[in-house]
Structure 1
């Protein structure tokens, strides 16, 4: 499945692009424990998103050197905003593949709009632009992605695996990963201590 080739759904059809998935305390899959996922694509064919609150050990300058975007001596001289970019673990699928979620003030031919002001670019051009200070104002980079087959995500939500809420750019591009899970919950008025791990049935 082309991970971003889905026919775009609309909110009226129940599709969840530009929403946060918040792992419930009873999440069975430990790879998603206390995770916040930004959904980039969702249709009847499946869903694709990026975990935004799990940091990787790899530093952005080291990644640029690995990808031959910069030589080692050039990476040392990167501007501070580029040096401090946190690379996130986007999910368990295709961990060698990189994705940049970013504000729409930067667009190249390969950039795909996700929401009104959020785009996704998965080509090396954006890394070069960021490295010389010509990239988007807001950006987050992830290696790997999270994917669900047809109906799989809907089933996990029905089984109380995930909460969903509209994504806000402020929380999406926030660099404070340690508290991001709790702050996303707080943004929709939910106290973690009161969350039930069992699905309720009326």
Structure 2
């Protein structure tokens, strides 16, 4: 008799990965990462709370895209992760106009095409977005192993936190779990 496993794999698509305070990897220390996709092949997301000392106007200039609205270029560029850090990725709500998006889930899209940059520069782009350089990726089973070592906390993502302009995204994500950042310990236990 052949009995198939009905065990469901962990699916963190649309969740935040919140780095524990004692995370040894400086790329992710103190970060909140939004997972756009998590399936049997691995996971892909972008860090949402690590602004770089670069503004979007510098991206427009490098891409030779003219902007007519000065305030558009004043938004920060984020470090999305260590994978292809020279590539730009725009995270935006899926319900808005469709651009040539590389990856989408039920709520958000991650777009890499030049057309969305041109539209953002002319204020015809998505209403809310993050421009990230690079993305974060995990191989099959990697996140599950990191969760076993208490490297991350996870919670269903609040999309409003992603697009909020403030620097409190880490503490806001923790509050979704009922955790005060001031009392968060770097030590975790396993039952």
What TM-score do the two structures reach when normalised by structure 1? 0.84
Which runs of structure 2 are paired with 1:151-162 in the superposition (5 Å)?
Answer: 151-162=141-152
Residue pair 2:19, 2:151 contacting (<8 A) in 1 also: yes
Indicate the structure with greater helix content. 1
Residue number in structure 1 paired with 2:96:
105
Task: Please point out which of 182, 187, 191 is paired with 1:198.
Answer: 187
Q: Could you say what secondary structure the match of 2:124 adopts?
A: coil
Residue number in structure 2 paired with 1:57:
53
Tell me if 1:22 matches 2:18. Answer: yes
How many residues are aligned here? 183
Tell me if 1:84 matches 2:74. Answer: yes
Q: Could you say what secondary structure the match of 1:188 adopts?
A: coil
Residue pair 2:9, 2:40 contacting (<8 A) in 1 also: no
Residue pair 1:79, 1:131 contacting (<8 A) in 2 also: no
Task: Please point out which of 138, 156, 164 is paired with 1:166.
Answer: 156
The alpha carbon displacement at 1:119 in A equals 1.5
Range 82-91 or range 20-29, more displaced? 82-91
Residue number in structure 1 paired with 2:44:
48
CA RMSD of aligned residues (A): 1.6
Unaligned runs of 5+ in 1: 1-11
Structure 1 outlier segments of 4+, above 6 Å: none
Q: Could you say what secondary structure the match of 1:120 adopts?
A: strand
Q: Could you say what secondary structure the match of 2:81 adopts?
A: coil
Residue pair 1:96, 1:143 contacting (<8 A) in 2 also: yes
Q: Deviations over 1:92-122 (max 9, x none)?
A: 111111111112212124353222x322111
Residue number in structure 2 paired with 1:7:
none
Which runs of structure 2 are paired with 1:68-83 in the superposition (5 Å)?
Answer: 68-70=64-66, 75=67, 77-80=68-71, 82-83=72-73
Unaligned runs of 5+ in 2: 1-7
